[in-house]
Amino acid sequence: MRCPTLYDLPPPPPGKRGWPWTEASVELPDPMPDGQEWPRVSIVTPSYQQGPFIEETIRSVLLQGYPNLEYIVIDGGSTDETVAILRKYEKWIAYWVSEADKGQSEAINKGFAKASGDLFGWLNSDDVYERCAIAIIAKYFTQDGGRSLVYGNGWYVDEQGKKTRPCHWIKPYNRRLFSTTNFVLQPAAFWRREIWERTGGLDSDLHWAMDWEWLLRATALTQPHYLRLDLARWRFRSGIKTVSGGWARRAEIAEISRRYGGVRQPTYLLYRLDRLISSMKTGQLGKRSAVQMAGYLLAPMSWMLKMTLWRGRHLT
């Protein structure tokens, strides 16, 4: 499907202006300059109860001006305004469904199982692509047939969609560092279909760091390339999964670090130290005051490790 124009889409809600409400990407000509068809790009959006944000997400995909787009939305049975918004734009969505599922990882896997594209990417239902992002990555992949995975820069945005600051923690790829911490902005990452098929998709048992775990497997198969261009906006707000989950989330991240980097990985060791300190401070290792005091004394050590050994890394 060729992306619709700004005038094809329903008008934006009152008061909404700028990208992707009243502005669109430059339209690419069809076909490519050499006469070939542009590669089909399949974008999957998993969603659940994201009614206040999903329309902005959808428009940022549809207004890319790209000649060969396939857009798929997998909703987990939302009861807010999500379904009404999907129906509003369903003319331009290749496939969408709203039904109960086992979570984000399963939804993404379901979406890519429906995809027929040559290039893949997923965009969560509160994030936004930058203008011309798909055109940029499509040109890159067609010009360099040896590349299978690319990622770029991005910005934080607030609940109103306003840019607040750049994601300064994104870095050129380094395997050793990547097994310690995730420095790839997921919505700014795109890859060839065969990489997804070779990895087998996301681990549906993971709930917080499924993107990092998949990227660790994918980058073991191909050397990723870092594009120093803004490709996406990450909505960072209270209540998002990235800052929720407590110890369960930290345990998942630590286990991924251990699985791909071994028990000496700093992220794993720091998690074990913090759990020990927490147990000592709460008296889980015994009610003796000496044990609890030791926990309080060790706490600054954990903080110092975070602020020195891992300064500048996007610790999760």
Q: In this predicted model, what pLDDT tens digit does every residue of 151-199 receive, in sequence order?
A: 999 999 999 999 999 999 999 999 989 988 899 999 999 999 999 999 9
7-11, 164-168, 200-204, 274-278: which has the minimum mean pLDDT? 274-278
pTM above 0.75, yes or no: yes
Mapped onto helix, strand or coil, the DSSP state of residue 13 is: coil
Separation of alpha carbons 247 and 224, rounded Å: 31
Helix (H) / strand (E) element for 75: namely strand 69-75
Amino acid at 187: P
Distance CA 182, CA 265 (A): 13
Taking the C-alpha atoms of residue 185 and residue 152, their distance in angstroms, rounded to an integer, is 7
CB-based contact 83:89 (threshold 8 Å): no
- Residue 120 pairs in a beta bridge with 42, 191
- 105, 109, 111, 114 alpha-carbon torsion, rounded to 10°: -170
* Digit-coded pLDDT (tens) for 298-309: 445 554 554 454
E strand intervals along 83-148: 95-98, 119-122, 128-129
Residue type for position 247: W
List the structure tokens of 149: 């995975």
CATH number of 41-243: 3.90.550.10
Res 312 pLDDT > 50? no
Q: What is the pLDDT of residues 20-62, one digit of tens each?
A: 999 999 999 999 989 999 999 999 999 999 999 999 999 999 9
Tokens 């006469």 belong to which residue?
35
Domain boundaries, the chain: 41-243, 246-308
